[in-house]
Structure 1
């Protein structure tokens, strides 16, 4: 896939729907999905929107499926086993399993006591597993393809809302979580009673994390203190790199699948920013500020097929596909 020119951008409007999360398909280079809510997710219904886009971004993405839900939807993940299966995180405390060829979920699994804010599908080891994280301060691991209506195991050692949970792309059965308690924790599925590592990550709530795709020990976190930090989980006492520049909370962080040190982040300051935490000493890790939204930017993802291609979504009722100029030289 080639993009037509430097910094090309394709856009799509989602009238009356405010974007919360966007994810590229792990099977198709021209497919992605977004969850977006009415009334900013405070009340009303939501939609799971599935898009196809032209390989050269010569036109806007096209909606090929619109699945509606009666409550808010705050996150989504694609199956690692079936190209048409998605899981969403519901404001009603449930996760919804969808075959995107249909408009109705094929399963609704409810075990959390409050909103589910994050879902992630394991892509290492046992690919049947889905991780859900909730405002009830817990995480659940589900065997979704089995059809089991109860989680396999629960993790409940955070003392605040769990905003995100992400499986390690390197170590089977390992995942990281972030919480309103200011910490990020690393867990082993085989030992649910105690985290493997506790990172005293930030001075405020930690909203997001992501694993390096090149180093099994590197984790990146983003916080309401407006910063990102890079951690070696073997040494939780201090971070490897502190990245400042956002004016408001960092809502989501993503590590590039193509370049070792490249990170993208989005924020309540209406921007997306790119960083390179491996830049030589004396150089700022911040690379570029993209200001193409007029409201909170909630969703962000890197394509695993197209180097440096990003998708994002925001509360300004829009979705963007683009390749930042700062990343063209890193391909």
Structure 2
């Protein structure tokens, strides 16, 4: 973990047995204190409210407390490199989404350490995962939407073999809509929406 102002290393997180390909920092958790109507900061499982998750070539996802650098959890299940991890938000705050060279996207429960769901729709490596800010209403209630980008062009731009490497939803400053930005191995960043 680096301080971007001083360019100095703040913490080192040791534990993976192979290279780390991706990291994500948790959102700060809030808890209403009804006694004095103040907001207290709490972490999903970390001391100061923030944790880091990392995905590695060792096929694992690990969660670390940012303050103490203590490893809090290890998620096993992918059978090939983990190339993308993302903490959940809103109703999925206690989840992590992961994408792997094993062509799967997996949803994990942070608190139990268990895998919740596997998505096996890709034909090639999964390089990017992202939670959509949209909610879908269905007969069983609300459901979050997840997105994943793969070498198989899951997000089409009418060219073959582009491979999607990065996904991000961004709001438009001039409109009340949301766009999906993505990058591919062909080079340019594209905005869809």
What residue in structure 2 maps to residue 5 of structure 1? none
Q: Is the 8 A contact 1:120 1:165 kept in 2?
A: yes
- Pick from 159, 173, 176 the counterpart of residue 97 of structure 2: 176
Unpaired stretches in structure 2, ≥5 consecutive residues:
30-42, 44-48, 136-142
Q: Is the 8 A contact 1:120 1:167 kept in 2?
A: yes
The CA distance in 2 between the partners of 1:160 and 1:214, in whole Å, is: 30
What residue in structure 1 maps to residue 179 of structure 2? 262
- Pick from 218, 234, 244 the counterpart of residue 145 of structure 2: 218
Unpaired stretches in structure 1, ≥5 consecutive residues:
1-96, 229-242, 277-331
Is the partner of 2:112 in helix, strand or coil?
Answer: coil
The CA distance in 2 between the partners of 1:270 and 1:98, in whole Å, is: 27
The CA distance in 1 between the partners of 2:62 and 2:8, in whole Å, is: 23
What residue in structure 2 maps to residue 103 of structure 1? 7
- Pick from 190, 213, 216 the counterpart of residue 111 of structure 2: 190
Is the partner of 1:227 in helix, strand or coil?
Answer: coil
Summarize deviations over 1:119-165 as a string: whole Å, max 9, x none. 111115323111111111110001112x23x3100001101100010
Shift of 1:204: 0.4
Shift of 1:103: 2.8
RMSD: 1.8
Q: Is the 8 A contact 1:227 1:244 kept in 2?
A: no
Is the partner of 2:23 in helix, strand or coil?
Answer: strand
Aligned residues: 163
Write out the 4+ residue segments of structure 1 that deviate beyond 6 Å after TM superposition.
Answer: none
- Pick from 58, 63, 76 the counterpart of residue 141 of structure 1: 63
Is the partner of 1:108 in helix, strand or coil?
Answer: coil
Higher relative contact order (CA 8 A, sep 6+): 1
Q: TM-score, normalised by structure 1?
A: 0.46
Higher strand proportion (structure 1 or 2):
2
The CA distance in 2 between the partners of 1:159 and 1:244, in whole Å, is: 29
Report whether the alignment pairs 1:275 with 2:188.
Answer: no
Is the partner of 1:221 in helix, strand or coil?
Answer: strand
The CA distance in 2 between the partners of 1:260 and 1:142, in whole Å, is: 35
Report whether the alignment pairs 1:122 with 2:39.
Answer: no
Report whether the alignment pairs 1:113 with 2:33.
Answer: no
